[in-house]
Amino acid sequence: MATAYSETYTTPVSNRTVYINYILTNYNDITINSISSSVRNSNQFGVNGTYFIPGTTNLVGIAINNGAQVRNYGTMNRDPRVCTSMFKCGTMVCPKSSTTGIVLFTDVIDRIDNGWTYNGETFTMSNIKWAIGGTSLFPNDSLDETTYKNKISTEDPGGGVAGIAPRTAIIYTGGTLSSNMVLLSVQSSANDGSPDSGGFTFWELREYIRNKFKTPNGTPPVHAIALDGGGSTQIRYKDSAGAVKCYQVAGDRNVNSMVSTIM
């Protein structure tokens, strides 16, 4: 059963305070869903999903559940009507089965519907349990900030490489333990009248994840990507007393897709 946690965190260099809520769950309990509402009004638990074109219901990030796209253009990291060129972005994939024992992976993917090869094994749409697109965080790589920014400079990060904003992320810590996935929300304000810090850069999000969450061997997480952030940052969960909690940066914004889990 998934468990939720909350904490206040201050960035070590810029001294900005953010408010973090996250859910520990298992990849088998995750689904990617189409929602025509905010996360608060979805009656599900989890976080907002991938990027979309504001004012529309069209996705510009991969969103697949049980071998099918959950909304228009959910098989590619772009809306082909707006951008016809390739846009390769960080995408997390959980296959239904694997001959080599892969249970979950991330790759920098343009589109997912034609099949592709990862670590020597070919996957197709029919073999996908779920997949979600976002911005690469490369948590298991030893990188400095400049190198990291250069690595994601060709992706479409939905807010700018160096920007400060509320953030959402999905993290796989490795192995098959019951709590091997993290659904993470970073709020820039406590919603109590305190100053708004702005949030995290992608680099700060990556470094927080590397330091906070570990694999069973004590190393940084195996995989992580940032999902849609900014005003789309939303999370809904049950606290330790069983009360339903929800945090949304910009109120009841319709976010079109959601990474959900059982609680």
Tell me the per-residue pLDDT of 18-54, one tens digit each, with 9 for 90 and over: 999 999 999 999 999 999 999 999 999 999 999 998 8
Q: Is the dihedral of CA 8, 11, 14, 18 positive or negative?
A: negative
In angstroms, what CA-CA distances link 196 with 17, 86, 109, 115, 191? 8, 36, 34, 43, 9
Which band of pLDDT confidence, cut at 50, 70 and 90, is reported for residue 162? Answer: low
- At 111, is the secondary structure helix, strand, or coil? strand
Tell me the per-residue pLDDT of 83-110, one tens digit each, with 9 for 90 and over: 767 788 999 999 999 999 999 999 999 9
DSSP for 125-168, written as a single string: GGGEEEEEE-EE--TTS---HHHHHHHTTTS--SS-SS--B-EE
In angstroms, what CA-CA distances link 3 with 11, 178, 219? 25, 11, 22
Is residue 159 over pLDDT 60? Answer: no
Of 40-54, 96-110, 151-165, 190-204, give the lowest mean pLDDT range.
Answer: 151-165
pTM of the predicted model over 0.85: yes
**Could you tell me the residue ranges of all domains in the chain?**
3-261
List strands edge to edge, sheet with 128-133: 68-69, 63-65, 128-133, 89-95, 105-109
Span 210-232, mean pLDDT? 95
